[in-house]
């Protein structure tokens, strides 16, 4: 957490956002996110690898920006914000999995009748 450097963090983010620095900044952020996932024990190599890193990158970046305006003691509000974003990510994953299971069940149960209905509709 950049707490010890908070007085200069907005300036650092501005420098990172300069067009000339964007490629390096992006690479450094990607390496940081990758290190966090490795420290958490993630060793996925499938499509999930990209999804996890994208989600964590978004969480990290939004929390970092939130922290710039946090005046609570020991950045308590930032920690609460971070915890809420992580919960949101897990809830989203659960929702997506449930949607996938539902779609698979509906497809399995209605597959043939639905195919017949679609054929009839498109015959007209």
* Residue pLDDT, tens place only, 60-119: 999 999 999 999 999 999 999 999 999 888 887 777 776 666 666 666 665 566 566 556
State the pLDDT at residue 70. Answer: 92
Mean pLDDT rounded to a whole number for the chain: 83
Split into its structural domains, the chain has a count of 1
Is 15 in contact with 7 (CB distance < 8 Å)? no
**pTM (global) more than 0.85:** no
Domain that holds residue 39: 3-123
* pLDDT, average across residues 23-30: 93
């Amino acid at each position: 957490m950049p707490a010890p450097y908070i007085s200069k963090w907005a300036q650092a983010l501005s420098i990172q956002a300069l067009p000339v620095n964007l490629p390096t900044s992006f690479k450094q952020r990607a390496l940081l996110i990758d290190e966090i996932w490795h420290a958490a024990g993630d060793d996925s190599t499938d499509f999930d690898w990209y999804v996890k890193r994208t989600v964590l990158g978004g969480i990290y970046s939004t929390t970092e920006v939130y922290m710039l305006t946090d005046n609570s003691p020991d950045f308590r509000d930032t920690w609460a914000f971070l915890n809420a974003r992580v919960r949101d990510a897990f809830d989203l994953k659960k929702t997506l999995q449930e949607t996938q299971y539902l779609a698979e069940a509906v497809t399995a149960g209605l597959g043939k009748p639905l195919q017949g209905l679609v054929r009839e509709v498109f015959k007209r």
